[in-house]
Chain A
């Protein structure tokens, strides 16, 4: 087996105020997979993403990355689109390149390609407030992809969207991954979303956070309504629900 891209070993995280967010976390992220972190809110999922991105440091244990934390190796998508409201969609997507010192003219192609990838080719001049929630999220994803990162971290990106928009974005995200081969670590607390998207689910138990169960989803990489209504899907959903329930019960004892 090839070396994992990211590997937590017996990792712990204690925040300054004394909150123990993670303890004894063992988790690998493998190249080109779609890994979903599934767990109740407050169990430490966002903390895991922030640690992978180097936005925060471990308190104990080890975290190894198969790449340098150089600019552009990691893309990050937050729950809110987190766009700069004063800048056009184009300028928002241009941001990572601008921060690297790319002049605007040289970056135009890359920005336009990223916008086209998420279906926003014609919205570059719009301002965030002029877009729908789904389109803002698309812009946010385009920004995360513009440097073609190795790993894309997504923290409950679709939680605030209506279900129809979410389904569409789910499909588009899978298509994007098929096209770019980006490794994705996706956080959600929706069992259905996790099964639909992932090649592997890590169920995170809270208090403090650690991996309670891992479920490999053995299904074709091209998914759609057929998969959503299949018995395989229902079976995995049931399995993930039980694992999530088990993780919660563990917390209570």
Chain B
């Protein structure tokens, strides 16, 4: 719809307030630090954090790359493992009965408690990857399994009426019906994979090459390099937001033509 006169365009009405609030908070922070002369080792100003991102880029961005690789590697493994196991669950009840308890045990045990053990058995990078995988895996598995099981009962009957094979029912009915559920699980799993990677990196605390962002944070902490801690933290947050936004966009793209969750309020 076209808007006239004083009515702001729709995107401005929608994105204006959150952007303004964010800018306001950053400005207030900056103003406070300057006005009170707060030393940088207590609270760095946003401009200093931003500057540090640039000056320390040789340390921070390779670390970001390491963390990103771990996160996406773990997420990919969780998707393959979670969807694969969910399919096995719906095809054979005994698989579900035998494997679900293990999945639940892994899910309810805090990852910080498992990480030290994994670090004994595995090289640090592998242990970090496994930790991130473990936390991302369960939401993808359980959401996909729920989705596969919740295909419309009448459609299931229709497939039966037309003598569809198990494979056809899976391919043409259960998998598409599970897609919105899977995408929901993927969004949760994407955020958790990052958290799992960070937690495991902190537990691993390995130095030198192959150190991720979390290691840079604790390292900067020992040296009381507070601006760098903030800069690394900002990178982690930005990564989390980017992952969430990318998965939301993927979900919207895949579902926009058919699912209520992706449709606008008007129809």
Contact = CB atoms under 8 A, between A and B. Distances in A.
A154 interface: no
A98 B172 contact: yes
Contacts of B164: 99
A95 B161 CA distance: 12
B154 A86 contact: no
B162 A82 contact: no
B154 A127 contact: no
Interface stretch (B18-26, B121-129, B257-265): B257-265
B152 interface: yes
A84 interface: yes
A97 B157 CA distance: 16
Secondary structure of the B contact surface, majority rule: helix
Contacts of B158: 76, 82, 95
A216 to B, nearest CB: 29
A129 B263 contact: yes
B14 interface: no
Contact of B172 (A50, A54, A78, A95): A95
A16 interface: no
A114 interface: no
Contacts of A98: 172
A55 to B, nearest CB: 5
A85 B154 contact: no
A53 B162 CA distance: 10
Nearest to A97: B162
B116 interface: no
A85 B161 contact: no
B175 to A, nearest CB: 10
Interface in A38-86: 50, 53-55, 70-72, 74, 76, 78, 80, 82, 84-86
B257 A84 contact: no
Contact of B258 (A71, A85, A99): A85
B179 interface: yes
Contacts of A87: 176
Contacts of B61: none
A209 interface: no
B179 A99 contact: no
Contact of B159 (A99, A127, A128): A99
A84 B162 contact: no
Contacts of A50: 157
Nearest to A72: B162
A43 to B, nearest CB: 20
A71 B164 CA distance: 9
A100 B155 contact: no
A96 interface: yes
A78 B154 contact: yes
Contacts of B176: 84, 86-87
Contact of A84 (B155, B157, B263): B155
A127 B177 CA distance: 15
Given A85-B258, A86-B179, A127-B257, A99 B162 contact: yes
A82 B258 CA distance: 14
B151 to A, nearest CB: 9
Contacts of A82: 152, 154-155, 158
B160 interface: yes
B161 A53 contact: yes
B173 interface: yes
B258 A129 contact: yes
Contacts of A78: 154
A99 B259 contact: no
Interface in B80-133: none
Contacts of B258: 85-86, 127-129
A129 B256 CA distance: 11
A127 B162 CA distance: 22
A96 B160 CA distance: 11
Interface in B166-195: 168, 172-173, 176-177, 179
Contacts of A95: 158, 162, 172
Contact of A76 (B161, B173, B257): B161
Contacts of B223: none
A40 B263 CA distance: 38
Interface in B139-164: 152, 154-155, 157-164
Given A55-B161, A80-B154, 5 more contacts: A54-B161, A86-B177, A98-B172, A99-B164, A127-B257
20 contacts: A53-B161, A54-B161, A55-B157, A55-B161, A76-B158, A76-B161, A78-B154, A82-B152, A82-B158, A84-B155, A84-B172, A85-B259, A86-B177, A86-B179, A98-B172, A99-B159, A99-B162, A100-B162, A128-B258, A129-B263
Closest A-B pairs by Cβ, 7 of them: A85-B258, A82-B154, A99-B162, A86-B176, A78-B154, A99-B164, A86-B258
